């Protein structure tokens, strides 16, 4: 990344693993970068890049982590949880995201999460709040809820956008969560 002269951070499932979420082995090393880059293979490892144009907006959610080979920038627990819902295709879907949140929820600083949520799209914050409530961390979501309300009116959003991609075939909602204004067509299942 130094060669590319781009801001970056290790994120998503790889960052979750580094923060202690250990339900599944991560199949690729996931990096968020300020430039669109193709996947690359480094030996047996696959490095996948995900694009974020607003890197300065999340600077407070990036920390340096010391490794055997030096230092690397890694998303904090709070930014990791927001990114899992911003890039759900890279996180293995809603069931996997809910499982990872059940592992990381106790490590979330509610005030930091609320502050970082201002740099995320509203539906991302809504989905995260809903899932954290669902996996038992409602105590961590009150500042997030207040930050969301302070941004103005909150419209309804789907928990999983794929569930409603074809309106003729979409299953009927099983829940309409009024607190987060999230429509749930299939409740996420957590791996134990």
List of residues 6+ apart from 109 with CB closer than 8 A: 77, 78
Between CA 87 and CA 109 the distance in angstroms is 21
* CA dihedral sign, ordered 145, 146, 149, 151: negative
Which pLDDT value is given to residue 102? 96
Give the full edge-to-edge strand order of the sheet including 8-10: 40-42, 45-51, 29-33, 8-10, 70-75, 62-67
Render pLDDT for 139-172 as a digit per residue (tens, 0 to 9): 999 999 999 999 999 999 999 988 766 666 778 8
Helical ranges in the chain per DSSP H: 12-18, 77-86, 93-104, 110-117, 122-134, 142-150
According to DSSP, the residues that pair with 64 across neighbouring strands are 73
> What tokens does 48 get?
């996948």
Which pLDDT value is given to residue 167? 63
124 CB burial (10 A radius; 0-12, 13-18, 19+): buried
Q: Give the model's confidence band at 128: pLDDT under 50 very low, under 70 low, under 90 confident, else very high.
A: very high
Q: Tell the residue number behind the tokens 């607190």, with chain if given.
A: 179
**Mean predicted confidence (pLDDT) in 100-120:** 97
């Amino acid at each position: 990344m130094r060669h590319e002269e781009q801001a970056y951070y290790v994120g998503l499932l790889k960052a979750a693993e580094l923060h202690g979420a250990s339900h599944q082995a991560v199949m690729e090393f996931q990096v968020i970068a300020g430039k669109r880059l193709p996947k690359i293979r480094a030996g047996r490892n696959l490095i996948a890049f995900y694009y974020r144009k607003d890197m300065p907006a999340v600077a407070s959610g990036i920390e340096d982590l010391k490794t055997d080979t030096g230092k690397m920038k890694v998303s904090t627990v709070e930014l990791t949880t927001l990114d899992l819902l911003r890039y759900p295709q890279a996180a293995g879907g809603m069931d996997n995201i809910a499982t990872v949140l059940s592992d990381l929820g106790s490590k979330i600083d509610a005030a930091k999460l609320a502050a970082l949520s201002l740099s995320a799209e509203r539906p991302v914050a809504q989905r995260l709040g809903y899932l954290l409530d669902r996996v038992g961390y409602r105590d961590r979501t009150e500042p997030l809820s207040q930050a969301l309300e302070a941004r103005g009116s909150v419209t309804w959003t789907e928990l999983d956008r794929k569930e409603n991609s074809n309106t003729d075939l979409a299953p009927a909602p099983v829940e309409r969560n009024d607190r987060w204004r999230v429509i749930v067509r299939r409740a996420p299942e957590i791996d134990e």
